[in-house]
Amino acid sequence: MIRVRCTVKRGKITHLDVSGHSGSADRGEDLICAGVSTVMFGLCNALDEIAGIETIRVDQNLIAVDIPEPDQVADTIMRTGLIQLKTVQEQYSQFMKIQLTEE
């Protein structure tokens, strides 16, 4: 199962992380995992290149972004990524769960 955790504070996304494996196919052949990875790496690259955000962590089986005080540009990038992840979840909800937390 792919797990996405998103935290919203004062109307802006301050945390987004993705972990796990969908289990829909063998590792290296899983198109759901490939799609989610593509969304997350694109989001991370956009945050770095456009917004100058470097609080990105990529570990084995985890991609995490923390932005304690996001500006409008960073929040727009994060929201765009979340919309893309929700689109994947709509098609493959048995392999992916998104948890939204508002603080």
What are 27-65's pLDDT values in tens digits?
889 999 999 999 999 999 999 999 999 889 999 889 999
**In the 8-state DSSP scheme, what is residue 24?**
S
Task: Answer whether 15's CB lies under 8 Å from 66's CB.
Answer: yes
pTM of the model: 0.93
| Mean pLDDT for the chain overall | 95
Give the chain's radius of gyration (CA, Å).
13
Task: Answer whether 33's CB lies under 8 Å from 2's CB.
Answer: yes
Query: Is domain 2-102 in CATH 3.40.50.300, yes or no?
Result: no
Lookup: tokens for 1 = 């199962």
Task: Choose among 21, 25, 52: nearest CA to 37.
Answer: 21
